[in-house]
Amino acid sequence: MQELVFLGLFVAALAIGWFLGRREAIKVGFMLQPHGSAIDRQYFIGLNYLLNEQPDEAIETFIRALEVNPETVETHIAIGKLFCQRGDVERAIKVHQNLLARPNLTAEQADRVQLELARDYLVVGMHSRAERLLEELGRSSSSLRGEALGDLVTVYEQQREWAEAVEVGLRLLRERPAFAVVLAHYYCEQAEDALQSRDINLAQRHLQAALKIDTGSTRALLTLAELEERQGHTRAVLKLLQRIAIESPDFVPQILPLAKRCADNGDLDLAAYLDKVLERPEPPMLQTVLARSEELQRHEGDVSAQRFLLTWVQQQPSIGGTLALVKLQMRDVGQMEEGHMGVIRQLLESLQQQRPQYRCESCGFAGQKLYWQCPTCHGWSSIRPLKGYEAV
């Protein structure tokens, strides 16, 4: 039923396009018979097909009846897109190729048809043909230049051709300044490839390029900090750690192992570093609070650690925080109380295992692992760590 309603609306659009095309043809003297012409007959044949629930035959008939001129091009484009959405990409390609061959299209209309044809090619995996059309549009002064570059960079991204993606991305950046976030990830992907090839210098150049494009690229900061440690550049590591604490406090847990290594070497006051993160106005990550609690336990004992942790759990309740508090309190209870606390601990651990740690802000994908690109919606930097009652 819904499909019939949609086709009815679609036919109405075709009828309008047919009427406009017919009126234009009469105006220029192309049609000599305003009534009873072959086009009239084709139109009513199409209606008959539609009423007999033969939508494919109806659409084919309307295509033949609908004269191609500047006023009906959009209708033909809509027909091609309909075929593509229904999975009949071959027919969509034919419609768009036929349109593109028409000499009476305006430049803007020709560009639109070229873009739709490129998208048809992408659907069927004809990437080389699509790339040529998109590249031509991307290097033109067309109003669709940004759309073409966006589609082209997506092709290179899907094929993991990062050098080409960066080259196109730099051009797209002039059209869409917000694309800097994605482009920085392309540089980071290049850095990862360079690290696999053990080319540290090249990886470092890619990461610095990422930060030049997007100064707030958390991924570039984290990777560069690890890389600087491998090279023994202690001062650079400490500088990056401080920058992460200020610019990306939610990702401090990702860098905690590195921060602890620096503290073990005597290069970093870990307690002061964590306090700097905890003093920020936004709620901290639970792992940051737990790390500070561990520092207190090590230097001041269980009581200070419990008092500190209880304060934070009351401010920002979470399963993980409550579980950590129970573990601390179990160290000071008797054997009978420990048995009861043990049951509570097991329940909390069971609940903790069922909770995700990260969630995509775009599509809602949730999981235990940090992805820089969402596996579901493929958005970059859309996955964020969870806090409070939502987190573990």
User: Is there a domain that residue 343 lies in?
Assistant: yes
- Residue 304 forms part of a structural domain: yes
Report if residue 142 sits inside a domain: no
Residues 6+ apart with CB under 8 A from 13: 75, 78
Task: Over range 360-381, report the average pLDDT.
Answer: 92
Q: Residue 372: what pLDDT?
A: 94
Please indicate, yes or no, whether residues 290 and 343 belong to a single structural domain of this protein. yes
Sheet holding 383-385, edge to edge: 366-367, 358-360, 383-385
Q: Which residues of 69-95 are buried (b: 16+ CB within 10 A; e: fewer)?
A: beebbebbbbbbbbbbeeebbebbbeb
Q: In terms of residue numbers, what domain contains 372?
A: 356-392
Q: Which residues face 366 on adjacent strands?
A: 359
Report how far residue 42's alpha carbon sits from residue 65's, in angstroms, rounded to the nearest whole number. 6
Same domain assignment for residues 350 and 287: yes
Higher pLDDT, 163 or 7: 163
Query: Residue 364 domain-assigned?
Result: yes
Mean pLDDT of the residues in the chain: 80
Domain membership of residue 392 (yes or no) is yes
Whole-number Å distance between alpha carbons of 355 and 391: 6
**Domain annotation covers residue 298:** yes
Is the domain of 348 the same as that of 361?
Answer: no
Using pLDDT thresholds of 50, 70 and 90, give the confidence band for residue 31: very low
Residue 322 lies in a domain: yes
Q: N- to C-terminal Cα distance for the chain?
A: 46
Residue 3's pLDDT is what? 54
Q: Are residues 301 and 341 in the same domain?
A: yes
Q: What's the domain count of the chain? A: 2
Same domain membership, residue 384 and residue 340:
no
Same domain membership, residue 297 and residue 347: yes
Q: In the block, which residue shows the tokens 């990409």?
A: 89
The span from the CA of 164 to the CA of 265, in Å, is 42
Residue 332 to residue 335: CA distance in whole angstroms: 10
pLDDT band at 235 (very low <50, low <70, confident <90, very high): very high
Q: CA-CA distance, 207 to 201, in Å (whole number)?
A: 10
Residues 347 and 376 in one domain: no
DSSP of 9-31:
HHHHHHHHHHHHHHHHHHHTTS-
Q: Are 300 and 310 found together in one domain?
A: yes
Looking at the structure, tell me whether residues 347 and 363 fall in a common domain: no
**Co-location of 350 and 361 in the same domain:** no
Q: Please indicate, yes or no, if residue 65 is contained in any of the structural domains.
A: no
Tell me the pLDDT tens digit for each residue of 64-117.
554 555 566 677 677 777 777 777 777 778 777 777 777 777 888 888 888 888
